[in-house]
Homo-oligomer: A and B are copies of this chain.
Amino acid sequence: MATAAGRTVTREAIAGARAAIAGVAKRTPVLPSLTLSERAGAEVVLKAENLQRTGSFKIRGALNKPAALGDACARGVTAGSAGNHAWAVAQAARVRGVPCEVFMPDGAPIAKAEGCVGLGAVVRYVGDSVDDAVAAARERADEAGMAFVHPFDDPDIVAGQGTLGAELLEDVTDLAKVIVPLGGGGLASGSAMAIKSKRPDVEVVGVQVDTFAPYPESLRRGVPVKVAAALTIADGIAIKSPGELTLPLVREWLDGVVVVPEDDVAEAIVLLMEKAKLVVEGAGAVGVAALLGGQVAPAAHGTTVVVLSGGNIDAGLLATVARRHESEAGRRLVLVSRVPDRPGALAGLLSLVGEAGANLVDVAHVREGVDLHVRETVVQLVLETRSREHAADVLRAVRDAGYEARTLYGASA
- Name A residues whose Cβ lies closer than 8 Å to a Cβ of B: 26, 29, 31-32, 34, 50-51, 53, 55, 107, 110-111, 113-114, 270, 273-274, 276-280, 311, 314-316, 318-320, 322-323, 325-326, 331-332, 359, 384, 386-387
Contact = CB atoms under 8 A, between A and B. Distances in A.
Contact of A319 (B26, B110, B319): B319
B34 A51 contact: no
B51 A277 contact: yes
Copies in the complex: 2
Contacts of A279: 273-274, 277-279
Contact of A326 (B311, B315, B386): B315
A331 B316 contact: yes
B110 A315 contact: no
B325 A274 contact: no
Contact of A277 (B55, B110, B387): B55
9 contacts: A26-B32, A55-B277, A113-B386, A270-B315, A273-B318, A315-B323, A315-B331, A316-B331, A316-B332
A315 B274 contact: yes
B53 A386 contact: no
A43 to B, nearest CB: 14
B31 A273 contact: no
Contacts of A270: 315
B316 A318 contact: no
Contact of A322 (B110, B316, B332): B316
Nearest to A270: B315
Contacts of A31: 29, 51
Most buried by B among A50, A274, A384: A274
Contacts of A26: 32
A143 to B, nearest CB: 26
A365 B169 CA distance: 59
Nearest to A49: B277
A364 to B, nearest CB: 10
A324 to B, nearest CB: 9
A314 B332 CA distance: 13
A319 B311 contact: no
B277 A384 contact: no
A319 B34 CA distance: 25
Shortest 6 CB-CB contacts between residues of A and residues of B:
A277-B311, A315-B322, A319-B319, A319-B322, A277-B279, A50-B277
Contacts of A316: 322-323, 326, 331-332, 384
Nearest to A276: B51
Contacts of A320: 319
B322 A318 contact: yes
A375 to B, nearest CB: 18
Given A29-B29, A278-B278, A325 B331 contact: no
Contacts of A278: 51, 277-279
A9 to B, nearest CB: 29
A142 to B, nearest CB: 28
